[in-house]
Amino acid sequence: MQQSDSTIERWVLDVGPSAFVPLVRNGLALAPYPLAHRRPHRWIIFIYAGVIKAVDPLRFAIDIDNYKMLPWAIGVRLAFYLPWLELVCGFALILRFFYRGGLFILTALTVIFIASGIIAKVRGLDITCGCFGHASKNWNFTTHLGLDFAILIALVALWVSSRAQQREL
């Protein structure tokens, strides 16, 4: 399916020529796409968090175990799996390859992180979330929760804007 020149012009005007990247196969431009809504640097946070956890999965397994919600064996498996999932989804947002899938997974993970943090606090556990490794070790619960809600709001806004953009096309 070939797009009209007006659609391409609208995308170029919307994101600016510096962020315009055409997807080209066999010399045919299939679909232009903006890089993560003109601000790819905002989604590097997921790549950073994924790398921090992937480098030291045992430390992340201990952070997961501190929540006292899962058996150790499942926590270790998650500690080896989740950072890579977060990395792939972060790159999906930045490169807009499997964009909506990455957006959905990151939104679900953020909701799970928020719920886990609140449940741990209600149970009286004073823990660090492990989201950003030792960089977030000294943050208080309110700071963690505020950051998680800010990320969730941004992800939901991207979800809504991607749905609106899909309807326009």
CB 83 within 8 A of CB 57: yes
By C-alpha distance, which of 155, 153, 150, 147 is closest to 37? 155
Full-prediction pTM beyond 0.75? no
pLDDT, residue 89, reads 94
CB 24 within 8 A of CB 33: no
Taking only Cα atoms into account, the Rg of the chain, rounded to an integer number of angstroms, comes to 19
Find the helix packing angle between 72-95 and 57-65, rounded to 10°.
120
CB 90 within 8 A of CB 46: yes
pLDDT, residue 42, reads 67
Q: Is residue 27 predicted with pLDDT exceeding 70?
A: no
CA count, 13 A, side-chain hemisphere, 37:
17
Q: Name the one residue in this structure whose structure tokens are 């956890």.
A: 53
* pLDDT tens, residue by residue, 109-167: 999 999 999 999 999 987 776 677 666 677 788 888 888 899 999 888 888 887 766 66
pLDDT, residue 58, reads 92
Count of C-beta atoms within a 10 Å radius of residue 84: 13
Q: Is residue 18 predicted with pLDDT exceeding 70?
A: no
* pLDDT tens, residue by residue, 87-120: 999 999 888 888 889 999 999 999 999 999 999 9
CB 130 within 8 A of CB 63: yes
